[in-house]
Structure 1
Amino acid sequence: MNLRPVLFALPLLLMSGCGSEKTDILFECPSPDGGEIATIYLVSDGVQDVNRETKLNVRPASESFNSSMFSFSMRHGFDAIIRWQGDDQLELVYPQHAMLTHQEQVIFGTSQTFNPDARIRVSYSEQPSTHGYFVVEKRCFSGSFE
């Protein structure tokens, strides 16, 4: 028996089971003036749900969503709260035990399709959660938050 065809086909069969990246939008939150949109979304490898990250995308409302443009990402935290504190400043609240994988304090125009002079300042805070989820009804706040 010739094993060469079997050995050649085996890696192809194993690789064919791999899925492609999957993106699920959790929610979108417009800025107080409606000029920008913050989007929280999950990205998984398409194979196992445990291999996923939660990400933040902030863009002008006139631009379409692009999952490759993000300013924050985390693992083991599957929820977030966005609080816009003005048209150019927002706070992202994430679960306390999340593993942060990317974090930007300022989003400059060139990275998120804003004009070059535009800046969005982002502050971050962590809060206790239940297994990476917040038990709240509202996750988007625009304007001053008390």
Structure 2
Amino acid sequence: MKKIFLILTVFLALLTASCSGDSPKSVAEKFLTAMENQNFEEAKKYSDDSMKQLLTMLDDMPKENNKKAENAKVKVTKVEKEGDKAKVFYIIESSEIEGESKEQSIDLKKIDGKWKVSFNKEDANKEAPNTEPNSMDSGNEATDENMGTELENIESGVVSETTEQ
């Protein structure tokens, strides 16, 4: 009987450990909390390669313009999951933010069995299309511009939201 109890206990512990912390919601919360604390290395743990590139750019920016909202808390409002992709909707709550916070979202995708925050280049292209009709370049400048736009969205939504009134 003791053996069965021990095996059952070990099985439940392994099941709990394997399931905890790997949902789109928990990954998004950890990522957004790291972003709020301007801990970009921690945020990279929850990011795919394209988001890691954005975070490296953000980490290289001068820190004087980055303001942290004191006592900010991430509140996930909705998770839309479809296969290996998810969209997590959230608001940032802080005593420094007057009025209602605007709902924002981040995209996640499952990579090697783990949920990662993803920079969606297609969505960025919809938001900031290349306006030069006869552009002969390969689109790298537009991609860099879109990454900058997405970076600004992350900063304004997570780091600098205290400036909204």
TM over 0.5: no
Identify the structure with the greater strand proportion.
1
Higher RCO by CA contacts (8 Å cutoff, separation 6 or greater): 2
